[in-house]
A and B are shown apart, each in its own frame.
Chain A
Amino acid sequence: MTHKQPHPDPDMTTFEPKIVAYVCNWCTYLGADLAGTNRLEYPPNVRIIRLPCTGRIDFNLIVKAFETGADAVLVSGCHPGDCHYTSGNYHARRRWTLFRELLDTLGIEMDRIHFTWISAAEGRKWQQVITEITEKTRQMGPYLAYKRICRVS
């Protein structure tokens, strides 16, 4: 479904997903730069937060993003073996495997968290990933469930 099609819920037609992307400085950030240099258009819903390495990404940051109203979160770094810091992305991957279940248990919708590898040469992949996530999140609608939890607590 694209945003041009009418949605049964009238509020949803104006819904623009908010996506927070935690990316590493050396691969994915440069991949997004390359998408710009090549003028690859994609939906304007993503807000990049640049970190040195995916190894720096603490899972509290993901929770925090939802808390401040994000509808989806993307974590993206260098491909395995390509980490600027040798092994930071392996730590990120290991942590991801662990925390996935924990976040699932906490009731966070796992479909709203995305984890990819995008290299500095993959401007097109960045365009595709952002387009896909935006469309998917648009279909899922706003992450009201989390906002409700925040309000209660």
Chain B
Amino acid sequence: MARIGVFICWCGENISRHVDVEKLAEQCAHLPGVRCCLTYKYMCSEPGQNLIREKIREERLNGMVVASCSPHMHLKTFRKAAEAEGLNPYLVEMANIREHCSWVHHDVKAATAKAADLIRMAVAKVRRNHALSPIRVPLTKRALVIGGGVAGIQAALDIADAGHEVVLVEREPSIGGKMAGLSETFPTLDCSQCILTPRMVEVGQHPNIRLYTYSDVEAVEGYVGNFSVTIRKRARYVDISKCTGCGACWNACPNKKTPSEFDFGMGKRSAIYVPFPQAVPARPVIDANACTMLTKGKCGLCAKKCAAGAINFKDQDELITEKVGAIVVATGYKLWDIGKEQENAKLAGYGEYGYGTYKDVINSLQFERLVSASGPTGGELRRPSDGAVPKTVVFISCVGSRDNAKGMSYCSKICCMYNAKHTMLYKHKVHDGQAHVFYMDIRAGGKNYDEFVRRAIEQDGAQYHRGRVSKITEENGKLIVRGVDTLAGEPVTIEADLVVLATAMRPADGVETLAQKLNVGYDEYGFLSESHPKLRPVETNAAGVFVCGACQGPKDIPESVAQASAAAGKVQVMFSREEITREPEIASIDERMCAACFTCVRACPYNAIERAEIRDRAGRLIKRTARVNPGLCMGCGTCVAVCPSKSAELEGFTEQQVYAMVESLG
């Protein structure tokens, strides 16, 4: 028999001002199944909770309704209070008479009537609630980190240092990501490689880190605590267990004409190559499209020179399965290539800058390589077309960022800072040169950031023009940049030797496909969605999958590192337990009723429903049925709505509960 307690909160005056609380209590005391009905000033306070616990004990309640604020606010609070008194927490429901009633309806009579309806619905529901216990699933205390840039490196090292095994997968031949290619970093101008490469070496030597470079995540199966990940280790044609990294092969390679990916096409590399000298692992890889041995069967010089016999032209892709309990996604960003044909016609509008047509119009990452001591020019700034030292350089901000008409609506966040940095690096290398910056606003929020921009302008004499550039043309080896200075109110024309475009930051290629494998949401630009923008910034809505770095949105190095450590922290919290407990409000299938049409299997967004067979002791097939994997189910209830035989059910929102709620309104 139902023994329901109804507890109505005044919330100070928040509820009692527009809802006649005492009258409401009188009405609710007579609802079917209600044993007692009380009001209190602040139900969530300690005396309020004590009052609830007292009544649970005295009246031996087997269900309760708290009529107060939104369940998003205090459902957990009241469930805990009930649990402390021995009442199953899932026998607690809330009626939201504050956000959905007293705060939005100011007519006392109407608001009180609505509050009574809301409580009646909650009572009708709670009478049909089931006592549930959290689901326990085993846990593999190993983590997968996808992406070996600075965020992935930080996350991997943090988790590994905490004593857990980490599988780090990187698509390029070396870890290091974009940061490994940067010259110096704002706002301190410390050398990027000097900070990063020791961390890369740490990853390479860490006993708890298993590193897969030149590899991709092929498939992800399983669920939180128990993922099974298939990794495609692409054919490298070099056995890295034999290779010593001596360099004889790439020195011998006659084909040195391939544009280097690491230098963003600013330099050349051989067909067998290490992307950069400090690469981890410092082992080469053969570019199968460039190597004449692999394309035409002629050459093989590298194999002849290799004393270790590490070259293997017959190498094949390899598929490896790794079991992990948590996944950290740190796939980073790319700069928008405005010179390429665009997948979306709307994004085809930056042709007027001549990127891809004029050799001396480059993007910011290319500029980083030109000023980097490890770059193709050895740190001496020379422009791509004729190798001359550029005396006038124009930097253009917001190329594709903050542009609703033909670009991305968002701010790429780091460009204001690196533009200031670029003008400084330029001035430090070319003392008689002049840097110009076209900008919309200067966004330099961050510790020592605004001071840094001021330094670029005041000490290093960068000319800042507030305005856009409308067109760039080439005349007699000069780039004619036509723009406007809206502060001076006049058009500006600059004859530049080099133009650097701060194109928008976009998520790395292929992130959408990866997100689909992981069941992680992403926005219209492909940035991965966190679970809550403020309170759950590194979690995703796929349990056990975390995000960090620029794959979640544009951010700089300090932020990426902070987020990576946060994600690693979350993984460690997970790994601090022996098993995982999950909310029990999930779906189940009545296997006696199931007609095995498997509509639910196709509808389930989490692939949480599998096709199962029921067999007798002799192994004879009795029937087929759908079966929910409790480790995977997230409790959305899509299966319940699609099931034609009504054999799917969702705890917490069962057919009985929802129908009872609707019927209570009749």
Contacts and interface: CB of A to CB of B under 8 A. Distances in A.
Contacts of B255: none
- Counting contact residues on chain A (CB < 8 A from B), the size range is 35 or more
Contacts of B585: 52
A127 B99 CA distance: 12
Given A47-B121, A51-B653, A52-B650, A57 B641 contact: yes
Interface in A24-38: 29-30, 32-33, 35-37
Contact of B665 (A18, A43, A44): A18
Contacts of A118: none
A44 B103 CA distance: 11
Contacts of B110: 44
Contacts of A92: 641
A55 interface: yes
Nearest to A38: B103
A53 interface: yes
A49 B99 contact: no
B541 A81 contact: no
Nearest to B117: A47
Nearest to A84: B541
A91 interface: yes
Interface string A72-94: 00000000011111111001100
B103 A56 contact: no
Interface string B83-117: 00000000000001011110111110011011001
Contacts of A53: 636-638
A20 B666 CA distance: 11
Contact of A56 (B104, B105, B523, B650): B650
A151 interface: no
Interface stretch (A4-12, A60-68, A106-114, A136-144): A60-68
Contact of B99 (A36, A68, A83): A36
B603 interface: yes
A37 B662 CA distance: 26
Contacts of A39: 103-104
A91 B602 CA distance: 11
Nearest to B642: A91
Contacts of A41: 104-106
A44 B110 CA distance: 7
Nearest to B524: A81
B510 to A, nearest CB: 18
A85 B605 contact: yes
The winner among A61, A86, A92 for most chain B CB atoms within 10 A is: A86
Contacts of A91: 603, 638, 641-642
Contacts of B524: 81
A68 B641 contact: no
Interface in A102-145: 127
B636 A55 contact: yes
Interface of B: 70-72, 96, 98-101, 103-107, 110-111, 113-114, 117-118, 121, 519, 521, 523-524, 541, 585, 603, 605-606, 634-638, 640-642, 650, 652-653, 658-659, 661-663, 665-666
23 contacts: A29-B70, A30-B72, A33-B99, A35-B99, A37-B103, A44-B101, A44-B113, A47-B665, A49-B662, A52-B585, A52-B637, A53-B638, A55-B605, A61-B658, A67-B666, A68-B663, A81-B521, A81-B523, A84-B636, A85-B638, A86-B521, A86-B606, A95-B642
Given A52-B652, A86-B605, A91-B642, 8 more contacts: A29-B72, A41-B106, A47-B665, A48-B96, A64-B663, A85-B606, A86-B521, A88-B637
Q: Which 5 A-B pairs have the closest CB atoms?
A: A56-B637, A36-B99, A68-B666, A55-B638, A85-B636
